[in-house]
């Protein structure tokens, strides 16, 4: 029997609700903060979240509230499950009720536009606390709600945070693996949303399994190149927060980002798709932010560039496939053979041929 830990989950969308259900299932007192008081009342009355997870029966020990002070009072571990666009704002609101001994863990898979910041950076800046972590992995909320077996990663350089999250969340259907590479885990979760949109589009265009497999593998090369430029460890991309999350979101229609890509591939407009989703698909904004950052830092990201044109410059999804095949033939794994060396060899034979 493990010790009971009081947990607050800030954000009662699909993921926050699924997470609260696991925590409570494991016997820990659980608060769930939602901004809408009527939704909080409905959750407490019906023991389910009628807006985001209507089919998930919540343990009665999940207590919903729209009062941040009440949610955070006495909480030892706080999960932040707010979409990236509202993350900083909610954390600022919560700041007066937070204490340095509390452990703060972000589950958000996106970037803050101002300054291109990760959620772990926002947590450090806004709170100045040291017990910080990031949770990321192949964790589709609807599968978690059905207790389908899966795993996740708690990334933190603080051993108390890693061990506590493993103890609080781990159970017979959910395994929690530890990592110290916060940026790697966080970037894996945020960047894979981009490629899930591309994969959904490829599926809608009827592309074959070879194509989808190449797309995912080149996505892994591209996302790890970007992440390493921002200080992440490339090895993290071999784990659940890297390739694990990439596979699930690039293959499952349960992923909202994949569904955005599918709908675009079927000829719907981006506005139409986002409007009809009713939930967040972080990848749309992430494409825009990552493209700007890659341009600024001179990082080669052909898939991001091509997807940006489809999402924001009215290029057709078929053009994206064409541009993907027209790019330079580069290195397979650049941590084995650097891209510059391949380019140099190509230039050498071109020179010889033209002499
Ligand atoms: N749903 C999933 O399968 C998973 C989601 N995530 C990540 O978790 C984060 C949250 O996603 P979901 O719960 O799925 O989103 P959702 O769209 O299902 O729900 C969003 C929740 O955040 C609230 N919210 C939105 N903007 C807010 C703001 N400015 N202030 C306060 N509350 C606000 C909404 O009212 C709602 O409760 C995202 O970054 C997502 O990528 C991570 C793992 C899995
Ligand atoms: O991050 C997720 C699964 O790990 C959820 O993906 P979507 O946001 O695309 O639904």
Domain of residue 263, CATH code = 1.10.1040.10
Residue nearest to ligand 2 atom 10, measured at CA: 255
Mean pLDDT of 15-32: 98
Matching residue, tokens 């769930």:
32
Q: Assess whether 163 and 296 both reside in one domain.
A: no
Adjacent-strand bridge partners of 104:
78, 132
CA of 221 to the centre of ligand 1 (A): 27
If you ran DSSP here, which 8-state letter would residue 103 be given? E
Give yes or no for residue 200 CB within 6 A of ligand 1.
no
CA of 14 to the centre of ligand 2 (A): 10
Backbone angles phi, psi at 82, to 5 degrees: -110, 140
Residues above pLDDT 90, as percent of the chain: 89
Give yes or no for residue 196 CB within 6 A of ligand 2.
yes
Q: Which atom of ligand 2 is nearest to the CA of 14?
A: 10
Cβ-contact 102, 78 below 8 angstroms: yes
Task: Enter the tokens of residue 85.
Answer: 């666009």
Q: Is 272 annotated as a binding residue?
A: no
- Give the count of domains, the chain: 2
Q: Is 184 annotated as a binding residue?
A: no
Mean pLDDT of 120-149: 98
CA of 13 to the centre of ligand 1 (A): 5
Residue 166 in domain: yes
Parent domain of 111:
7-180
Residue 258: CB atoms within 10 Å: 28
Give yes or no for residue 287 CB within 6 A of ligand 2.
no
Q: Assess whether 79 and 97 both reside in one domain.
A: yes
Mean pLDDT of 26-42: 98
Mean pLDDT of 121-150: 98
Domain end among 154, 180, 206: 180
Q: Assess whether 139 and 277 both reside in one domain.
A: no
Give yes or no for residue 87 CB within 6 A of ligand 1.
no
pLDDT of residue 327: 81
pLDDT of residue 236: 97
Q: Assess whether 36 and 173 both reside in one domain.
A: yes
Give yes or no for residue 279 CB within 6 A of ligand 1.
yes
pLDDT of residue 320: 79
305 Cβ neighbours under 8 A, 6+ residues apart: 291, 294, 323
Distance separating alpha carbons of residues 291 and 176, to the nearest angstrom: 32
Asked if the interface predicted TM-score (ipTM) of this complex is over 0.95, the answer is: yes
Give yes or no for residue 68 CB within 6 A of ligand 2.
no
Q: How many CA atoms lie within 13 A of 307 on its CB side?
A: 32
2, pLDDT greater than 70: no
Counting ligands in written order, the one closest to the CA of 251 is 2
Give pLDDT tens digits for 305-355: 999 999 999 999 988 777 778 788 889 998 899 999 998 998 888 887 777
Counting ligands in written order, the one closest to the CA of 11 is 1
Nearest to 309, CA basis, from 345, 256, 270? 270
Mean pLDDT of 11-26: 98
- If DSSP codes are grouped into helix, strand and coil, which group holds residue 216? helix
Give pLDDT tens digits for 258-288: 999 999 999 999 999 999 998 989 999 999 9
Q: Assess whether 173 and 210 both reside in one domain.
A: no
Give yes or no for residue 108 CB within 6 A of ligand 1.
yes
Q: What is the CATH number of the domain that holds 104?
A: 3.40.50.720
Residue 147 in domain: yes
Distance separating alpha carbons of residues 275 and 273, to the nearest angstrom: 5
201, pLDDT greater than 70: yes
Q: Assess whether 252 and 332 both reside in one domain.
A: yes
Q: Is 298 annotated as a binding residue?
A: no
Give pLDDT tens digits for 280-313: 899 999 999 999 999 999 999 999 999 999 999 9
Residue nearest to ligand 2 atom 6, measured at CA: 255
For the residues of 259-323, what is the DSSP string, one character each? HHHHHHHTT--HHHHHHHH-S--THHHHHHHHHHHHHHHT---HHHHHHHHHHHS---HHHHHHH
Distance separating alpha carbons of residues 262 and 310, to the nearest angstrom: 13
pLDDT of residue 354: 78
Q: Assess whether 17 and 146 both reside in one domain.
A: yes
Mean pLDDT of 77-102: 98
Q: Is 316 annotated as a binding residue?
A: no
pLDDT of residue 1: 45
Residues above pLDDT 70, as percent of the chain: 99
CA of 274 to the centre of ligand 2 (A): 15
Q: Which of 15, 148, 239, 249 to mutate to test the pocket of ligand 2 (most atoms within 8 A of CB)?
A: 249
């Amino acid at each position: 029997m493990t010790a009971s830990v009081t947990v607050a989950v800030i954000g009662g969308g699909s993921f926050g609700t699924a997470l609260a259900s696991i925590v409570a299932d494991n016997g820990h007192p659980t608060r769930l903060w939602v901004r809408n008081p009527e939704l909080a009342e409905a959750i407490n009355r019906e023991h389910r979240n009628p807006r985001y997870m209507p089919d998930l029966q919540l343990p009665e020990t999940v207590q919903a509230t729209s009062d941040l002070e009440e949610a955070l009072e006495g909480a030892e571990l706080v999960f932040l499950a707010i979409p990236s666009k509202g993350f900083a704002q909610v954390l600022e609101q919560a700041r007066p009720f937070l204490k340095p001994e509390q452990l703060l863990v972000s589950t958000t898979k996106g970037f803050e536009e101002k300054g291109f910041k990760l959620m772990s950076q926002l947590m450090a800046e806004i709170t100045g606390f040291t017990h910080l972590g990031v949770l990321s992995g192949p964790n589709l909320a609807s599968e978690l709600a059905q207790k389908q077996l899966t795993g996740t990663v708690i990334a933190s350089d603080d051993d108390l945070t890693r061990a506590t999250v493993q103890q609080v969340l781990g159970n017979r259907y959910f395994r929690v693996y530890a990592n110290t590479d916060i940026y790697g885990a966080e970037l894996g979760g945020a960047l894979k949303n981009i490629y899930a949109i591309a994969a959904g589009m490829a599926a809608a265009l009827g592309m074959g399994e070879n194509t989808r497999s190449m797309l995912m593998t080149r996505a892994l090369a591209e996302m790890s190149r970007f992440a390493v430029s921002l200080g992440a460890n490339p090895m993290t991309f071999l784990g659940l927060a890297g390739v694990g999350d990439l596979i699930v979101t690039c293959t499952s229609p349960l992923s909202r980002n994949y569904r955005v890509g599918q709908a675009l591939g079927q000829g719907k407009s981006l506005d139409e798709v986002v409007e009809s989703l009713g939930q967040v698909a972080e990848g749309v904004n992430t494409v825009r932010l990552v493209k700007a950052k890659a341009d600024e830092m001179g990082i080669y990201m052909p898939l991001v560039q091509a997807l940006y044109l489809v999402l924001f410059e009215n290029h057709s999804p078929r053009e994206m496939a064409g541009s993907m095949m027209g790019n330079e033939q580069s290195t397979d794994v650049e941590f084995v053979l650097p891209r510059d060396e391949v380019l140099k060899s190509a230039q050498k034979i071109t020179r010889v041929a033209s002499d």
